[in-house]
Structure 1
Amino acid sequence: MPKVPLLAAFAIVLTLNVPSAYADEPAPVAVTVNARAALANVPETGLGTNHAIWDSNLGTNQTADLLKDAGMKLLRYPGGSYSDIYHWADHTAPGGYVAPNTDFDTFMSGVRRTGAQAMVTANYGTGTAEEAAAWVRQANITKKYGVKYWEIGNENYGNGRYGSAWEADDHADKSPAEYARHVVAYADAMKAVDPTIKIGAVLTTPANWPDAITAEGDNGSWNKVILSAAGPKIDFVIVHWYPGALDRTGHVPDMIQLTREQIAKYAGPGSDRIGISMTEFNTGSSSNGTNTQPGALAAADAYATLLANGVFSVDWWNVHNGIGAVSEVEGHTDYGDFGLLSSGACNSDGSVCEPALNTPFAPYYALQMVGKFARPGDRFIRAATDQPKVTAHAARRPNGDLAVLLINTSSDTSYPVKLGYSGFTPATSTPTVLTHTNGATTITTSSTGTATTQTLAPLSLTTLLLHPASVTPRPGTPGQPKAANVTDQSATITWPAAAPGSRPTAKYEVHRQNGAITEQLGETSGTSLTVHNLKPGTRYTLNVIARDTGGTQSYPSSPLTFTTGTPATSSCSVRLTNQTDWASGYVGAIDITNNGAPVNGWTLSFTWPRTWQSLGSGWSGVWTQEGSNVKVVNEAGNGSLATGATATIGYVGNYSGPNVLPSVFTLNGAVCTVQ
């Protein structure tokens, strides 16, 4: 080895022993954006908020202009539970406070200045169908306001039927059947005045009290009774969600899917016309930051996820709400205010006051960012990351441009990200980058980084606006797919043909969404394909893509979601019934029938579909849970099952999110038929 001069050797030693400035830098976050995996279209009414008649600033020009700047497309009136005591004709709310300058005409003036649509809640609690019909006449015939969306009541399940009463309800009968009967009467009376309006009925939100609870004397839960009786008369359903935490967005796909399944099961033929609107939403987490940046990031994530899952409007509670519990969150004062804009109020002893009236809180900028990211007419597409602290959403513009929303929820880490794209090639030009950071009072616009590399500041929202590398004429988009003949392992998918582009259509491809990755299940030159090798009891979301004779792909169709069943025949069958439910747990009964040869000793196994589900206790068997897998071994007295014999076992299941019931059971290793 050659000799190294002393000074040089000393320098080398120093270099080797000095800690690297990059030693603690996080690894780049991998972001996957898949333009072949389409979700819902961005609706015209997606971005919404609530007005309340106790807010004297409801109709001011300053308020309307701020909401317009935020991109608000729907405004709801007259405000939560006040809806069930409010009488529009004389602008009174007995038992509540009505602020000056909050009447219906003032509200509609603000709606028009904002450039939004209105949603009006008709008084069910203390009103009548005739009063609601007269309101429709005043709004749409006399005033020609063209109000399209009309709710029947607010949170009417909160009338004491389930043990808690906050919603006014003068009806002697507080049952869901009585509410459903009136929904039918209201719909008939209101549509007799204006047949073009849309009528909404109140539902409970999956896994939120009192969802799934059956009150004494009722023929099922609130949702079952309402949809069964009023389904043919309504055009949309109403859910509210105050998750009370900032990490609940993962509940959304199941929440909306379970609501759709209830609509399909109970609302009768043609129920696919019924939309879902979340007319009240707030993070509801004053301890973690209601109106500071953590709450804002959660709000943006929730809005994007809800809209991507097909909710046609998400309405923030509220425009102005008022000061609550004051705390310090991420270096800024959180006023515990559920409003988008400051009310300018002080707490009870005057020691803390909010900023000046109409000062935007952080969630205002979050919703403004969502409006810039996903515009009406865009199509949500799948996006995902490999870092829990970083969330990604994506939307495709009609002209082929792409927008990617990145949310960094870390308090102290700037994450470098590397973006990869499927079905889209970004231009090499520097993208337009929109950013909102902790404590900022505006969304900044810059040209930084590239389409594939960015750095996300802590507690930030970042939107990339991207052009495609080239614009190639594409085939038309296939129509909405449908599934038929769904079994445990196969399904037949059909779709309306795509219009040809500049070249004839050569074939269609059916792609399954697996997170942000797509898996091609098959292809055909026709408009029907039977896909095989599916897994029993599994939810599938598919898109259909057309490819022309030159190899160019179309945009993906709207998504199709279906769930496979279990074998039509098996050596065993299982029936699971939810016997009683209290919206955070339930008693399940499982009937196990042996359809094969006599069994002496059995083991039943299943897996909880979601991480927020667990076993509380079990009986008539030895129950164990390992991870999400549950195993039940027979007790000494019930291990013998003759051919045709049935054993019944039971358990308490706990859940803290939408309760997707287990759907696949094995008995001694054989997959059972689920009845």
Structure 2
Amino acid sequence: MRTPAHRRACLATAALLAAGGLAGILEPAAHAAAPDPAAHAAIANPAAHTAAGTAPVAVTVNTRAALATVADTALGVNDAVWDSQLGTTGVSDLLKSAGVQMIRYPGGSYADIYHWQDNTAPGGYVAPDTDFDTFMGSVRRVGAQPIIIANYGTGSPAEAAGWVRYANVTKGYGAKYWEIGNELYGNGHYGSAWEADNHADKSPTGYANQVVAYANAMKAVDPTIKVGAVLTTPAGWPDGVVAAGDSSTWNQTVLSIAGPSIDFVILHWYPGGSNAADALTKPNQLNDALYLVRDQIARYAGPNARNIGISLTETNTGYGEDTQPGALFAADTYADLWENGVFTVDWWDVHNGIGNVSTVEGQTDYGDFGLLSSATCAADGTTCEPPMNTPFAPYYALSMLGTFAHPGDQLIRAGTDQPLVSAHAARRRNGDLAVLLVNKDPANSYPVAIDYAGYTPSGAAPTVYSFTNGATAIASAQTGTATAQTLPPYSLTLLVLHPSAVRAGAPGAPGIPVAGAVSDRTATITWPAATAGGHPIAKYEVYRQNGTTSEELGETSGTSLTVYNLNPGTRYTVNVLTRDTSGAVSWASPPLTFATGTPATSTCAVHYVDTGDWGSGYVASVDITNTGTIPINGWTLTFSWPTSLQSMNGGWNGTWTQTGTTVTVTSAGGTPNLAAGGGTTNVGFVAGYTGPNVPPGVFTLNGTVCTSS
């Protein structure tokens, strides 16, 4: 979320733009992917030190470890009604050139004061020529789809239904995606108030009930639309907080009530960062955050849970918004979210206005959350942004992303052995493979050695796109090899590879697998049968993703396999592949992620409860019970945090220690022994977290895995 202070800054920016900061239109910049000779030189001869004394970074790309498929709405941005450039041809051309597929309207918190019929936002500024029809004209020129925020704060279900009728019945725009309000958890119910909300009941229950009313009214007009409800993002305030008078968190309440009526959920993510290096570590949290969101949907949304998608309709970095850290953050964030099946990621925003000016790695950063310059000046008049619509660095990152992954591409697991270098990969139906490499080291180039599992690239030099620190264009060249490249410092590098051969008649991939009968040690994986290619199907192979390595769990001629020897309380991601009688192998199935439980019976039991959460820490109560037939005189309970961003900050009724991610509590003087057949003691602790708060999966008592609840 953006802080209330940032909200105030956005309103101030709107006033600045209203004063003429967005007057006039310049010719759009050249196509983002146009080769630039100077940038081309940076590919071949990076003008920076190579990290000394190190072997090439090992990059692994594993086509057997499939992730999500890229949606046709994946690459998105935000547009706002206070932006006078919203409907201009120059901006539309730039967004089209970048490959933008979804545009959000009418703009963040403004959505909850905006009335579409007369294009007004009482209490806020609305620029001329930003009405809905003008916006849709821009969307069509870009070739994108709209995602529209219905006014919840000062609107009504009837107003939203009227908008759907106008958009899809009267005008035939076919607007499919509709959000119900913006960040309604910021309506004051949890203390901070930046979002307009005129409802007497500002609780999550009040919002959820109104979401049902909105969805019913809007779908009565057009049953084909998709309606989304606002959730909090794990580790983003007020996630985990239960407000006075509520029985559960915002997410649990909204999903429990509105789950049967919605088609997707809405997240926002502004992770911040104390400096560039810190900000660039934040995308590492997204896998766990999305796992928690999917778990919440599965737990609370009811029978409709499998049909609910996830969108992330606002994001931006907290450091170097206009310079290379912003570009590197955007590349990792979009790719990580796509890999986790998020159907749209929408950058905040197209234009925003100047903020705090600084110098980041030799480049002027204007503190502007926009993709394009607003040509505004600092309050003291000493610093002004470049000419109107000049692209900032994140714009080029989005352009690279649009080249990297196309709708229908299958994202596959890629990784490196260097924390400052990240990797992403996409497999295309024509056999091509795209590999995106992000060097987050501002000072050093890195040679990389790329290994491909399940894919053989051709011997021709790949097409290589590169965007480097301070560049004003994306460079393009055929250089290096498929297995060896050098990454300039602070750079995005994209390789597009052709296969050595395209084998006709390969079998089809299996359908989406599901897990059943999951216990602490076993699970039964089932999947829809694949379609045979040129030869009959011989068998299916089930693989676990272990980092970038695929470990075979078993194979079968049927469409179900029970896997054994799993670890209790552990998350598994698996794919299924088809192999035919000629040995040809299919693409991998979509991924399945499931978690094993704890034993159905054991000689110990643990009941773990989060008794109070404040968004960055919580208090836990743990009941330890001896369910065996032998008394326990002296005990040690152990568990491990699922992430390195969680910590035990002090406990009671035992002696607590933490080593790495492992937490141990031992019985202390005065702690009662555990009698056989039900002897119980209670311990507790205070925990902190600076990322997604994934609960511990398994507890052991004196080395025995306990039943947990």
How does the TM-score come out when normalised to structure 2?
Answer: 0.91
Measure, in 2, the Cα distance between the counterparts of 1:271 and 1:669. Answer: 37
Measure, in 2, the Cα distance between the counterparts of 1:271 and 1:612. Answer: 29
Query: 1:608 Cα shift?
Result: 1.2
Q: Write out per-residue CA displacement over residues 524-575 of structure 1, whole angstroms, 9 at most, x where no aligned residue.
A: 1111100001000000000000101111111000000000001110000001
Measure, in 1, the Cα distance between the counterparts of 2:490 and 2:51. Answer: 22
How does the TM-score come out when normalised to structure 1?
Answer: 0.96
The answer to whether structure 1 residue 455 and structure 2 residue 486 are counterparts is: yes
Q: Give the partner amino acid of 1:174.
A: K
Q: 1:580 aligns with which of 612, 620, 640?
A: 612
Q: Give the partner amino acid of 1:646.
A: T
Query: 1:439 Cα shift?
Result: 1.1
CA contact (8 A) 1:211 1:221 kept: yes
Q: Give the partner amino acid of 1:133.
A: A
CA contact (8 A) 1:83 1:121 kept: yes
Query: 1:635 Cα shift?
Result: 2.2
Q: Give the partner amino acid of 2:405.
A: A
- Correspondence 1:432-447 to 2 at 5 A: 432-447=463-478
CA contact (8 A) 2:259 2:304 kept: no
The answer to whether structure 1 residue 343 and structure 2 residue 348 are counterparts is: no
CA contact (8 A) 1:279 1:315 kept: yes
Q: Specify the SS of the correspondent of 2:437.
A: strand
Q: Specify the SS of the correspondent of 1:393.
A: strand
Query: 1:270 Cα shift?
Result: 2.7
The answer to whether structure 1 residue 625 and structure 2 residue 632 are counterparts is: no
CA contact (8 A) 1:508 1:526 kept: yes
Measure, in 2, the Cα distance between the counterparts of 1:259 and 1:74. Answer: 22
Structure 2 runs not aligned, ≥5 long: 1-48, 274-278
CA contact (8 A) 1:284 1:338 kept: no
The answer to whether structure 1 residue 383 and structure 2 residue 414 are counterparts is: yes
Measure, in 2, the Cα distance between the counterparts of 1:550 and 1:506. Answer: 9
Q: Write out per-residue CA displacement over residues 13-65 of structure 1, whole angstroms, 9 at most, x where no aligned residue.
A: xxxxxxxx999364211000000000000110000000011111111000111
CA contact (8 A) 1:599 1:639 kept: no
Q: State the partner residue of 2:231.
A: 203
Q: State the partner residue of 1:259.
A: 293
Query: 1:375 Cα shift?
Result: 0.8
- Correspondence 1:231-630 to 2 at 5 A: 231-245=259-273, 246=279, 247-285=281-319, 289-473=320-504, 474-596=506-628, 597-630=630-663
Q: Give the partner amino acid of 1:353.
A: C
Measure, in 1, the Cα distance between the counterparts of 2:305 and 2:672. Answer: 45
Q: Write out per-residue CA displacement over residues 101-143 of structure 1, whole angstroms, 9 at most, x where no aligned residue.
A: 1111110010000100001100000110000000000111001
* Paired positions, count: 652
The answer to whether structure 1 residue 160 and structure 2 residue 193 are counterparts is: no
Q: Which runs of 4+ in 1 moved over 3 A?
A: 21-26
Q: Specify the SS of the correspondent of 1:478.
A: coil
Query: 1:284 Cα shift?
Result: 2.4
Measure, in 2, the Cα distance between the counterparts of 1:606 and 1:470. Answer: 49
Measure, in 1, the Cα distance between the counterparts of 2:420 and 2:299. Answer: 37
Q: Percent identity?
A: 65
CA contact (8 A) 2:98 2:398 kept: yes
Q: State the partner residue of 2:242.
A: 214
Would the alpha carbon gap of residues 22 and 389 (structure 1) be closer, same or farther in structure 2, given more than 3 Å must change? Answer: closer
Query: 1:79 Cα shift?
Result: 0.4
Measure, in 2, the Cα distance between the counterparts of 1:318 and 1:250. Answer: 23
Q: 1:642 aligns with which of 636, 659, 675?
A: 675
Q: Write out per-residue CA displacement over residues 2-21 of structure 1, whole angstroms, 9 at most, x where no aligned residue.
A: xxxxxxxxxxxxxxxxxxx9
Q: State the partner residue of 1:94.
A: 122
Q: Write out per-residue CA displacement over residues 122-175 of structure 1, whole angstroms, 9 at most, x where no aligned residue.
A: 000011000000000011100111100000000000000000000001111111
Q: Give the partner amino acid of 1:175.
A: S
Measure, in 1, the Cα distance between the counterparts of 2:538 and 2:379. Answer: 71
Q: State the partner residue of 2:222.
A: 194
Q: Give the partner amino acid of 1:624.
A: T
CA contact (8 A) 1:299 1:366 kept: yes
Measure, in 1, the Cα distance between the counterparts of 2:587 and 2:672. Answer: 55
Q: Specify the SS of the correspondent of 1:600.
A: coil
Query: 1:638 Cα shift?
Result: 2.2
Q: Write out per-residue CA displacement over residues 308-327 of structure 1, whole angstroms, 9 at most, x where no aligned residue.
A: 11000000001000000000
CA contact (8 A) 2:460 2:481 kept: yes
Q: Give the partner amino acid of 2:599.
A: P
Q: Write out per-residue CA displacement over residues 632-652 of structure 1, whole angstroms, 9 at most, x where no aligned residue.
A: 111222231112111111101
Measure, in 2, the Cα distance between the counterparts of 1:128 and 1:216. Answer: 26
Query: 1:594 Cα shift?
Result: 0.4
Measure, in 2, the Cα distance between the counterparts of 1:22 and 1:598. Answer: 62
Q: Specify the SS of the correspondent of 1:57.
A: coil
Measure, in 2, the Cα distance between the counterparts of 1:583 and 1:67. Answer: 36
Measure, in 1, the Cα distance between the counterparts of 2:249 and 2:51. Answer: 56
Q: Give the partner amino acid of 2:615.
A: A
Q: Write out per-residue CA displacement over residues 213-252 of structure 1, whole angstroms, 9 at most, x where no aligned residue.
A: 0011112000011000000000000000001022101100
Q: Specify the SS of the correspondent of 1:276.
A: strand
Would the alpha carbon gap of residues 665 and 105 (structure 1) be closer, same or farther in structure 2, given more than 3 Å must change? Answer: same
Q: Specify the SS of the correspondent of 1:270.
A: helix
CA contact (8 A) 1:26 1:416 kept: no
Q: Give the partner amino acid of 1:458.
A: P
CA contact (8 A) 2:51 2:444 kept: no
Measure, in 1, the Cα distance between the counterparts of 2:449 and 2:147. Answer: 41
Q: Specify the SS of the correspondent of 1:97.
A: coil
Query: 1:653 Cα shift?
Result: 0.9
Q: What is the aligned-residue RMSD (CA, Å)?
A: 1.0
Structure 1 runs not aligned, ≥5 long: 1-20
CA contact (8 A) 1:306 1:314 kept: yes
Larger radius of gyration: 1
Measure, in 1, the Cα distance between the counterparts of 2:188 and 2:329. Answer: 31
Q: Give the partner amino acid of 2:129.
A: N
Measure, in 1, the Cα distance between the counterparts of 2:109 and 2:332. Answer: 27
Q: State the partner residue of 1:17.
A: none
CA contact (8 A) 1:602 1:639 kept: no
Q: Specify the SS of the correspondent of 1:430.
A: coil
Measure, in 1, the Cα distance between the counterparts of 2:219 and 2:304. Answer: 18
Measure, in 1, the Cα distance between the counterparts of 2:661 and 2:179. Answer: 40
CA contact (8 A) 1:577 1:589 kept: yes
Measure, in 1, the Cα distance between the counterparts of 2:401 and 2:53. Answer: 29
Q: State the partner residue of 1:147.
A: 175
Q: Write out per-residue CA displacement over residues 463-507 of structure 1, whole angstroms, 9 at most, x where no aligned residue.
A: 111111111131111111110000101100001111111011101
Considering Cα pairs closer than 8 Å and 6+ residues apart, tell me whether 1 or 2 has the greater RCO. Answer: 2
Q: Which moves more between the two structures, 512-521 or 626-635?
A: 626-635
Q: Give the partner amino acid of 2:562.
A: T
Measure, in 1, the Cα distance between the counterparts of 2:462 and 2:223. Answer: 47
Would the alpha carbon gap of residues 600 and 153 (structure 1) be closer, same or farther in structure 2, given more than 3 Å must change? Answer: same
The answer to whether structure 1 residue 137 and structure 2 residue 171 are counterparts is: no
Query: 1:66 Cα shift?
Result: 0.4
Q: Specify the SS of the correspondent of 1:52.
A: coil
The answer to whether structure 1 residue 670 and structure 2 residue 670 are counterparts is: no
